[in-house]
Amino acid sequence: MLGAEILVRSLVAGGVDTCFGNPGTSEMHFIAALDRVSGMRGVLTLFEGVATGAADGYARMAGRPASTLMHLGPGLANGLCNLHNARRARVPIVNIVGEHAAHHRRHDAPLHSDVEGVARPFSDWLRTAQSAATLSSDCAAAIAASRIAPGRIATLILPADIAWTDGGDAPPAPLAADTAPLRVSSARIESAARRLRDGRNTGLMIGGVALSERGLALASGIADATRCRLFAPMSNTRIARGSGRPPIARVPFAVDDAVRFLAGLDTVLLVGAKPPVAFFAYPDRPSLLAPPGSASIPVAEPEENVLAALSDLADAVGARPRPAASGAALGAAPDSGALTAAALAAIVAHHLPEHAIVVDESLSLGFTLYPATADSAPHDWLQMAGGATGEGLPLAVGAALACPERKVVCLQADGSGLYTCQALWTMAREGLNVTTVILSNRAYATLYGELASVGAQNPGRSALGMIRLDNPAIGWPDIARGFGVPGERAEDAAGFERALQRALAMPGPSLVEAVRTAP
């Protein structure tokens, strides 16, 4: 049995049944093995950044790793942006990266590079296969490494000669049993409980699995019992939201807003979250966002048993999980007028389907969309956890493949959507149940504020020309149709509502460009 077939069989035996890839010559034996091994779904992407982002979305919703297939160092480099996001999301992914045959590397062929060097900063586990006979155990080790809680990035480099060499008929190596995350010590729980009971100005910042429905009920119960302030980081892997679920505010993106949001706190208790820090450095502004002199105290690290820690903390302060309750009535959505940020958010909130998966790369518009949808139908909210733009459309691909019975609604800023617009083709090819809303302000709008925040004075025509996307305007419905996805444009509130309703009712992928009117 060739090494490539051993590898595919081992992936399937380890529960990895979906591979997002963009292969090249070095990976031909791997893709040929897909015809000989049942149980692996190969999903072609037109760019490696779509493959890595889709694997991220798949892992978030399926709770298990997908694999990626990338071509040598340059192909891996194309996928690194969204591999960064996936690593920050702490999800399991198994990357398979092709490499030149050993005898060919010494000739410095045009595509030769240090593949391990490219992979290392974005991988938690890394190995280059040395023999077809050991590929099974290599694969088992990669899968096991990816499944270390809450999830890690494992990269297995597959040289072409290992893929085409006969490795015998050994069965797939057994997987190591998943290691349960460590439970937080009673001493740490009691120390946090004392802080909460002391009545000080305490914040409880939760992230990761604490933002699941169970985690939110526990954390909200603690907040009810102790009157602490409850909030989440700005960027998160997955949040359970909507009617009947406790709403949770996030630390704002802008430094001044974040400082005001956290003002008055003496202590920030961290459960599945890291201390709040600014996305960027700014002149005369802090990097750490909590008030000076306050204490940021880890109660449960993301790698520990976060839900058990919340349960133990609730017991320690005598709190009960907040019961599910009906949400507040949504305000009326406008049926006419300009398509302002508020109008767009209200329309999306009204029409969000039951149990939708919302992928949020709305960027500047997210500050309006997130609070407006707090009482929409129950849904899950996914974000780019690492802050590297261009993951919205790929995340939607992966989420839709993991949960084909659920509607995926991708709220995608126009500028960052262009990084990975090839994902629309994969949506069409796979018939994915994704409605994409392009939030079109025809600019990298966040950067208007950033110019001022970093102190860049009096930007002129040249500077603004590096931010604006209106000359020429980008035809998103044309792009969508070119990739095989039905698309239309809306320029006022009534037109957007009608277009959104049509798109949501449509099976398979669809796109609506919402050309927004300021403010």
pLDDT in tens, 157-213: 999 999 999 999 878 888 888 888 999 999 999 999 999 998 779 999 999 999 999
Give me the residue label for tokens 């340059």. Answer: 74
Q: Does residue 449 register a pLDDT over 90?
A: no
Task: Supply the CATH classification number for the domain 341-515.
Answer: 3.40.50.970
For residue range 51-105, list pLDDT tens digits in order: 999 999 999 999 999 999 999 999 999 999 999 999 999 999 999 999 999 999 9
Q: Which residues contact 108 (CB under 8 A, 6 or more apart)?
A: none
For residue range 382-416, list pLDDT tens digits in order: 999 999 999 999 999 999 999 999 999 999 999 99
Residue ranges in 293-406 assigned as alpha helix (H): 306-316, 341-351, 366-372, 392-402
Residue 486 φ/ψ, nearest 5 degrees = -60, 135
> Under CATH, what is the fold of the domain 186-316?
Rossmann fold (3.40.50)
Q: Which residues contact 497 (CB under 8 A, 6 or more apart)?
A: 333, 335, 347, 351
- Reading the block at residue 2, the tokens are 């060739």
Q: Does residue 315 register a pLDDT over 80?
A: yes
- Reading the block at residue 53, the tokens are 């982002």
User: What is the C-alpha separation between 151 and 72, in angstroms, rounded?
Assistant: 24
Tell how strand 229-232 and strand 249-250 pair up: parallel
> Under CATH, what is the fold of the domain 3-164?
Rossmann fold (3.40.50)
Q: What is the percent of the chain where pLDDT is above 90?
A: 85
Average pLDDT over residues 406-427: 97
User: What is the C-alpha separation between 14 and 73, in angstroms, rounded?
Assistant: 26
Q: Does residue 220 register a pLDDT over 60?
A: yes
- CATH topology of 3-164 equal to that of 341-515? yes
Radius of gyration of the chain from its Cα atoms, rounded to whole angstroms: 24
Mean per-residue pLDDT over the chain, rounded = 94
Average pLDDT over residues 115-139: 97
Task: Enumerate long-range contacts of 500-507, CB under 8 Å, 24 or more apart.
Answer: 500/347, 500/348, 500/351, 500/435, 500/437, 501/351, 503/435, 504/351, 504/353, 504/407, 504/409, 504/435, 506/435, 507/431, 507/433
- Reading the block at residue 460, the tokens are 């002129």
Residue 79 φ/ψ, nearest 5 degrees = -95, -5
User: What is the C-alpha separation between 215 and 210, in angstroms, rounded?
Assistant: 4
**pLDDT category of residue 464 using cuts at 50, 70 and 90:** confident
Strand order in the sheet with 66-70: 41-44, 18-21, 66-70, 93-99, 153-159, 125-128
- The residue ranges of every structural domain in the chain are 3-164, 186-316, 341-515
